[in-house]
């Protein structure tokens, strides 16, 4: 009987990890997405749109030079680092372990939140553009 408990713990751990690897992680309650994979792809695409907007503003010399803007942009890059690494590895056809996939899944909601904060700052720029320099 004492051997049942270790096997049960292993089975529970395997089920949790397997579920995460197959994409049955939870989607945030306020999300309109059907699956975690859809949510992750949506977050990645949203980030790409925001990054494109940042590059366009930078090239036009329209980005504000203040600490809040710089910190928000850096926070977005930091929060989305694992998602970007995952996308790059997947694009290269690399194998990713369950532990790495679980870390990516755990970071997606924070990445999404940081993108929304950056987008809110960009909306202010759209509302009050900087004068031409």
Instruction: Work out the pLDDT band at 6, boundaries 50, 70, 90.
Output: very low
- pTM beyond 0.75: the answer is no
Secondary structure (H, E, C), 50-61: HHHHHHHHHHCC
End-to-end CA distance of the chain: 77
pLDDT of the residue at 50: 95
Q: What is the predicted pLDDT for the residue at 128?
A: 72
Q: Domain map of the chain by residue range?
A: 32-127
Whether residue 115 is predicted with pLDDT greater than 60 in this model: the reply is: yes
| Structure confidence at residue 30 (pLDDT) | 56
Segment 85-108 mean pLDDT: 91
Of residues 63 and 119, more confidence is placed in: 119
Do the beta carbons of residue 36 and residue 104 sit within 8 Å?
no
Give the mean pLDDT of 33-56. Answer: 88
Q: Between these two residues, 28 and 85, which has the higher pLDDT value? A: 85
pLDDT score recorded for residue 28? 59
Give the Cα separation of 79 and 107 in Å (integer). Answer: 7
Model pLDDT, residue 62: 85
- Report CA-CA distances (Å) from 49 to 18, 35, 56, 130: 32, 21, 11, 21
């Amino acid at each position: 009987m004492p051997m049942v408990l270790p096997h049960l713990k292993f089975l529970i751990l395997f089920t949790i990890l397997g579920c995460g690897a197959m994409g049955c992680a939870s989607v945030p309650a306020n999300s309109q997405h059907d699956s975690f994979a859809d949510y992750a792809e949506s977050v990645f695409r949203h980030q790409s749109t925001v990054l494109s907007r940042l590059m366009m503003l930078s090239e036009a010399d329209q980005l504000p030079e203040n600490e809040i803007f710089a910190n928000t942009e850096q926070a977005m890059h930091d929060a989305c680092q694992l998602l970007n690494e995952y996308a790059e590895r997947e694009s290269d056809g690399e194998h990713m372990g369950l532990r790495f996939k679980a870390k990516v899944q755990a970071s997606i909601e924070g990445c999404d939140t940081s993108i929304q904060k950056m987008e809110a700052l960009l909306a202010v720029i759209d509302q009050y553009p900087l004068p031409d320099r």
